[in-house]
Amino acid sequence: MSKKRILVGMLVIGTSLSMLIPIALAGTFSLQRDDFVTNESPYIELKVAPGESVSDDFLVVNLSEETHSYAVSVNDASNTTEVDGFFALSDDTKEQSHIGKWGVLSTKTVTVEPGEYGTITLTFTLPEGTATGTYWGGVSAIVSDAISASENSEGGTSINSVIRNGLRVKVEVVDKEEFVQFLEELEMKEATKTNTTGISYYKYIITGLIIIIAGLFVTIMNQRNNKKKIKL
């Protein structure tokens, strides 16, 4: 698990909220694919064969001005398998039958500072004999440090409201051959992403150097022109 600083403005634009929570309410944090800039899909899509494992990363993004801890879970979809329309996840207390049963998180809690994100790995390991087909579920998080009970003046208990944000997960159970092909495609995407990042990095360095050299050239020329004017 890692925590990194982000460009918050970009994440607000790319936020994927599978729980259909209004942006005004969900603005304190969000869950997002780690490759949201380069990937068109707003949710995690994976293919895996029975008896095999596959993993992907997602981000828990802190858009607030305070450090928070988040409790994260993976669950089945409770009411639909469709891409569009209302989408909800089953409760943690209910028995999970597919996504929530197969999925394992690298950590179930993460603490993130303001303007940063924590990376969590989601791994699916399918038992032999799993039926091929498409399965829907998701990962979700709540601000765990916002859950607090305190005694009020009348001796009762008050509980802070809790916002639950999520990210859809689609798992296609396929045969071994298609799974191998999927892994090869993933490796190619990772290589392309790494190369693109490297190219962009050096492009920024070269652009910065050009700007610095141009600035120095203009400064030198201005100084020469000022000296000429003084002599005249």
**In whole angstroms, how large is the CA radius of gyration of the chain?**
24
- CB-CB contact of 32 with 62 (8 Å): no
CB count in 10 Å sphere of residue 134: 13
What gap in Å lies between CA 40 and CA 130, rounded to an integer? 29
Fold designation for 2-148+157-174? Immunoglobulin-like (2.60.40)
pLDDT-derived band at 61 (thresholds 50, 70, 90) equals very high
Closest-CA residue to 68 (of 11, 112, 115, 4): 112
Q: Span 59-65, mean pLDDT?
A: 92
- Per-residue pLDDT reduced to its tens digit, 152-167: 445 555 555 567 888 9
Q: Which structure tokens are listed for 6?
A: 């982000």
- Per-residue pLDDT reduced to its tens digit, 194-228: 554 444 445 545 655 676 777 677 777 777 766 65
The structure tokens 């979700």 sit at 140
Residue type, 157: T
